Structure 1
Amino acid sequence: MRSLHLLIGLAVIITSRAATPELRFAWKQVDYVWETPEQKETAVKDGTFVQATNLPLGLARWKNKLFVTVPRWKNGVASSLNYVDVDGAQDQLLKPYPSLKDNLVPDTAKELPSNSSIISVFRVFVDACDRLWVMDSGLADILGSPNQVAGPSIVVFDLNTDQLLHRYFFKVTDMKEDSFFANIVVDVDKDSCDSAFAYVPDLGGYGVVVYSLKDNDSWRVSHHYFHFEPLSGSFNVSGIEFHWTDGVFSLALSEPRDNGYRTMFFHAFASTKEFCVSTELLRNYSHIDKNEAFHDFKLLGDRGANTQASASFYDTKNHVLFYTQVNRDGVGCWNSNKPYSPETNPLIINDPELYEFPNDLKVDDEDTLWILSDKLPRYMFKSLDANEVNYRIFSINVKDAIAGTACE
């Protein structure tokens, strides 16, 4: 009888473990769909395309397109904004978006060739109005000989027509000397598409830029909580130790609250703490008492040691905040109906080989969680082996991911 109880107990433990994500895409190195073989040959010859420097970093899904960004960390990135077919081959070529011509810009360029040109993108956001929001840093060859081809700008595309809708360049007052913009989230309701707000974290200048589509205007929000934590700036990924001072990096938006505004969850990359603030404050920041508003930013809690996270995304259907766990080779989560503590922030996905530096994640409108891992520290501080798989994208149903965990 005791052994039967033991077996039942084991069965409960086994079935309550979170499901395993499915490997959807995997590359040793990435390449692109070129217009002609000669075009690629020329790009390789003149250094416009150096395959080893092209590292996928950000993602977002819209229908059968899975957008994949390739920032210009080093020279020779052929196309920064791309997509793959969701139902396509695991190692398929990246398709430049909106075209290769718009992306194939020399690292030494002095200006944007056209208004729809894309220089260097880290993360993108698909909104409820079938638009792709792109935060273009405008900076090429970041780790080599940095060249600011154009100022940081928000670029918006209509996904139904693949046409450029709008481009907005940040104002001088939006930026600081060390500003660096690598993320964007969009606050919009599908019934009022023209009233969208974009929130862009400044990881180097420790602020958040708010952009109003309706007013075509932007402003900068400052707060102590946007800074990095001095005791959380050390990372260790796959035996590579490095030290970063990245401030506010990840933003995630809740479902609308009773007053119509959302809660914005945020954290610095070099931090283990999570904070929040109402978007009401962000939208009206220019007209409020800054001293009084200081206390409207709230500390939610601490995830615990080594829980620094790059990206996060809030799933409004299940009220769960998902986030990458770069030091722990996986993904963590928190159910927003619970207190914020290490116990309520479990590591639900983990594998040191498959999830070496999980860099971005998103939940799509079918409630699928997408995760991209890319070995970024090796790329930056050592080198990648072109004979092994370096870049992977996984997917899993949200309910399966959180089943049997504290996030359920």
Structure 2
Amino acid sequence: MRAISIALVFAALSACQAATPELRFEWKVVDYVWESPAQREKAITEKQFLPANNLPLGLGRWKNKLFITVPRWKSGVASSLNYVDLDGPSDQPLKAYPSLKDNLVPDRATELPSNSSIISVFRVYVDPCDRLWVMDSGLADIYGIGNQVAGPSLVIFDLNTDQLLHRYFFKVKDMKEDSFFANVVVDVDKNSCDNAFAYVPDLGGYGVVVYSLKQDDSWRVAHHYFHFEPLAGSYKVGGIEFHWTDGVFGLALSEPRENGYRTMFFHAFSSTKEFCVSTELLRNYTHIDKSEAFNDFKLLGDRGERTQASASFYDEKNRVLFYTQVNRDGVGCWNSNKPYTPENNPLLFSDPELFEFPNDLKVDDEGTLWVLSDKLPRFLYKSLDANQGNYRIFSINTSEAIKGTACEA
């Protein structure tokens, strides 16, 4: 009995000493910066802005801007690509990027108003060349009429000028009948910005599309490991049970290896396993023997039960892979120098209220981990209470986050 008491005391002390993320932003309901009150009222009257239907989902940091995406799950999303000022109020309205005009597109539009128009974005990626890569699904009112305004495309902005650099529409052979593109990671060195590769997972069609900026071309990579895991498709978050068959979604890139290529860590959303493959294979996929390349995709291991992850990001400084834990209301990690086992994949922090459905996370160039939670299951299957905080963004230094855990070197 005494041994148990001592163990509980030590556990409590460890919990008290554990670093906790700082709450940086919190919203009950999302609103935007409008050109005038009249413009906002007009948008509400015409149902181009239905506040309750706007849910933040993805994020990315560049200097004093924290980009926040609001996908068009439902009708009435005023702006899908936005940002807030890091030094601004915690509940500040979102600023449309590159402009409100580029985002305020009718749900029933039949084409892009301009080449810089944004329809529906889930994830973004800030690269070391001061560019914002945006994966625009082109699909509006996903849970309603499902209007494909334009085909899926990669949109690249110069963050120093806020100007569109390039837009690339996926080819027909890049897509399958059930394709859905909602994430992007970028493989590039700041000393060779033109030689960039984007890797885009297809969570519905179970593949990865590779895009070369220099070649301005794309190709599709297929593998069994991109599929979902049948026994890991059940979730329970916020008291809501649901079942998803989402395939490959979480992608993360290591530091360059000795041969100059990175390792891409990946997993299906509905899975508890982690895999990896060299970006050398992905870049040269069109020129290699597919049957021989099959075995170059490797299983790293399994995190354990109820460890499905919506997003992951690799911290080069600590060589640690951070990932969300949607079924456990928190964030986990793995030190890439250690075996991939449940013991080496600790839950760093967890709270059923503050971290209810941690949807996205990123590590910025200053070594800060950013986490966004948004109660997505309630939003999709029930409703949110507009009188309480629903959408939150936290930050914490990566070294502090892993201190004293199995992820520390």
**Is TM > 0.5 for Structure 1 vs Structure 2?**
yes
Indicate the residue corresponding to 2:274 in structure 1: 274
Alignment of 1:9-408 (within 5 A): 10=10, 13-14=13-14, 17-408=17-408
SS at match of 1:52: helix
Deviation at 1:14, TM superposition (A): 3.4
Among all aligned residue pairs of Structure 1 and Structure 2, give the percentage whose two residues are the same amino acid.
Answer: 80
What is the alpha-carbon distance in structure 2 between the residues aligned to residue 112 and residue 227 of structure 1?
Answer: 32
Q: After superposition, give the CA deviation of every residue in 1:147-168 in whole Å (9 maximum; x if it has no partner).
A: 0000000000000000000000
Q: Is the 8 A contact 1:16 1:404 kept in 2?
A: no
Deviation at 1:16, TM superposition (A): 8.3
Q: Give the TM-score normalised by the residue count of structure 2.
A: 0.97
Letter in 2 for 1:186: V
Q: After superposition, give the CA deviation of every residue in 1:2-28 in whole Å (9 maximum; x if it has no partner).
A: 9xxx79x84994388430100000000
Q: Is the 8 A contact 1:154 1:168 kept in 2?
A: yes
Q: Is the 8 A contact 1:17 1:405 kept in 2?
A: no
Q: Is the 8 A contact 1:199 1:210 kept in 2?
A: yes
Letter in 1 for 2:140: A
SS at match of 1:74: coil
What is the alpha-carbon distance in structure 2 between the residues aligned to residue 15 and residue 71 of structure 1?
Answer: 36
What is the alpha-carbon distance in structure 2 between the residues aligned to residue 391 and residue 155 of structure 1?
Answer: 26
SS at match of 2:165: strand
SS at match of 1:369: strand
SS at match of 1:318: coil
Letter in 1 for 2:196: A
Q: Is the 8 A contact 1:16 1:403 kept in 2?
A: no
What is the alpha-carbon distance in structure 2 between the residues aligned to residue 233 and residue 249 of structure 1?
Answer: 14
Q: After superposition, give the CA deviation of every residue in 1:103-151 in whole Å (9 maximum; x if it has no partner).
A: 0000000000000000000000000000000000000000011000000
Q: After superposition, give the CA deviation of every residue in 1:336-374 in whole Å (9 maximum; x if it has no partner).
A: 000001000000010000000000000000000000000
Q: Is the 8 A contact 1:17 1:404 kept in 2?
A: no
Q: After superposition, give the CA deviation of every residue in 1:41-62 in whole Å (9 maximum; x if it has no partner).
A: 1000000000000000000000
What is the aligned-residue RMSD (CA, Å)? 1.5
Unmatched segments (≥5 aa) in structure 1:
none
What is the alpha-carbon distance in structure 1 between the residues aligned to residue 286 and residue 366 of structure 2?
Answer: 37
Q: Is the 8 A contact 1:18 1:405 kept in 2?
A: no
Letter in 2 for 1:247: G
Q: After superposition, give the CA deviation of every residue in 1:230-272 in whole Å (9 maximum; x if it has no partner).
A: 0000000011000000000010000000000000000000000
What is the alpha-carbon distance in structure 2 between the residues aligned to residue 72 and residue 293 of structure 1?
Answer: 37
Q: After superposition, give the CA deviation of every residue in 1:207-226 in whole Å (9 maximum; x if it has no partner).
A: 00000000000000000000
What is the alpha-carbon distance in structure 2 between the residues aligned to residue 296 and residue 15 of structure 1?
Answer: 40
Q: Is the 8 A contact 1:109 1:149 kept in 2?
A: yes
SS at match of 1:327: helix
What is the alpha-carbon distance in structure 2 between the residues aligned to residue 387 and residue 11 of structure 1?
Answer: 35
Letter in 1 for 2:363: V
Letter in 2 for 1:60: G
Letter in 1 for 2:374: D
What is the alpha-carbon distance in structure 1 between the residues aligned to residue 199 and residue 373 of structure 2?
Answer: 24
What is the alpha-carbon distance in structure 2 between the residues aligned to residue 197 and residue 53 of structure 1?
Answer: 34
Letter in 1 for 2:194: D
What is the alpha-carbon distance in structure 1 between the residues aligned to residue 51 and residue 11 of structure 2?
Answer: 47
Q: How many residues were matched structurally?
A: 404
What is the alpha-carbon distance in structure 2 between the residues aligned to residue 356 and residue 25 of structure 1?
Answer: 15
Letter in 1 for 2:158: D
Q: Is the 8 A contact 1:17 1:403 kept in 2?
A: no
What is the alpha-carbon distance in structure 2 between the residues aligned to residue 63 and residue 298 of structure 1?
Answer: 36
What is the alpha-carbon distance in structure 2 between the residues aligned to residue 288 and residue 91 of structure 1?
Answer: 51
Q: After superposition, give the CA deviation of every residue in 1:84-110 in whole Å (9 maximum; x if it has no partner).
A: 001110000000000000000000000
Deviation at 1:302, TM superposition (A): 0.2
Letter in 2 for 1:33: V
Unmatched segments (≥5 aa) in structure 2:
none
Letter in 1 for 2:239: G
